[in-house]
Homo-oligomer: A and B are copies of this chain.
Amino acid sequence: MVFLERAARFCRDRTSVVYGSLEYKWGETHQRCLKLASSLSLLGISRGDVVATLSPNVPAMYELHFAVPMAGAIISTLNSRLDAAMVSVLLEHSQAKILFVDYQLLEVARSALDLLRKRTSSKLPILVLIADSEHDSEFDSNIDTTSVSYEYEMLVANGESGFEIVRPKSELDPISVNYTSGTTSRPKGVVYSHRGAYLNSLATVLLFRMDQFPVYLWTVPMFHCNGWCLPWGVAAQFGTNICLRKVRPKDIFYNVTNYKVTHLGGAPTVFNMIVNSTSIDRKPINHKVITVAGGAPPPPQILAKMEELGFTVSQLYGLTETYGPGTSCVWKPEWDLLVPQERSRIKARQGIPHVCLDEIDIKDPETMESVPNDGKTIGEVMFRGNTVMSGYLRDSKATKDAFKGGWFHSGDLGVRHQDGYIEIKDRLKDIIISGGENISSVEVETVLYSHPAVLEAAVVARPDNHWGQTPCAFVKLKEGYDDIDAQEMINFCRDHMPHYMAPKTVIFQDIPKTSTGKIQKYVLREKAKELGSIS
Residues in A lying within 8 Å of B, measured CB to CB? 2-3, 6, 9-12, 14, 202, 205-206, 209, 211-213, 236-238, 330, 332-333, 352-353, 355-356, 358, 419-421
Contact = CB atoms under 8 A, between A and B. Distances in A.
A202 B211 CA distance: 13
A426 B185 CA distance: 65
Contact of A355 (B11, B202, B213, B419): B202
A211 B211 CA distance: 8
Contacts of A421: 10
A10 B10 CA distance: 37
Most buried by B among A12, A206, A209, A352: A206
A224 to B, nearest CB: 24
Contact of A211 (B209, B213, B419): B209
A195 to B, nearest CB: 11
Nearest to A331: B212
Contacts of A12: 419-420
Contacts of A202: 202, 206, 355-356
15 contacts: A2-B358, A3-B355, A9-B352, A9-B420, A10-B352, A10-B420, A12-B419, A14-B332, A202-B202, A202-B206, A206-B237, A209-B211, A211-B211, A237-B355, A238-B330
Contact of A205 (B6, B206, B332): B206
Contact of A212 (B3, B330, B356): B330
Nearest to A355: B236
A46 B226 CA distance: 43
Contacts of A236: 355
Contacts of A206: 202, 205-206, 237
The 8 closest A-B pairs by CB, nearest first: A10-B352, A10-B420, A9-B420, A236-B355, A202-B202, A209-B211, A212-B330, A2-B358
A414 to B, nearest CB: 15
Contacts of A3: 355
A259 to B, nearest CB: 14
A355 B6 contact: yes
Contact of A330 (B2, B10, B209, B355): B10
A213 B420 contact: no
A205 B238 CA distance: 16
A234 to B, nearest CB: 12
Contacts of A237: 206, 355
Contacts of A358: 2
B353 A6 contact: yes
Nearest to A209: B211
A43 to B, nearest CB: 29
Contacts of A213: 332-333
Given A10-B420, A202-B206, 17 more contacts: A3-B355, A6-B353, A6-B355, A9-B420, A10-B352, A10-B419, A11-B332, A12-B419, A12-B420, A202-B202, A205-B206, A206-B206, A209-B211, A209-B212, A213-B333, A236-B355, A237-B355
A315 to B, nearest CB: 15
A355 B234 CA distance: 12
Nearest to A13: B419
Nearest to A235: B355
A332 B12 CA distance: 12
Contacts of A332: 11, 14, 213
A347 to B, nearest CB: 15
A332 to B, nearest CB: 7
Contacts of A9: 352, 420
A106 to B, nearest CB: 38
Contacts of A209: 211-212
A6 B352 contact: yes
A210 to B, nearest CB: 9
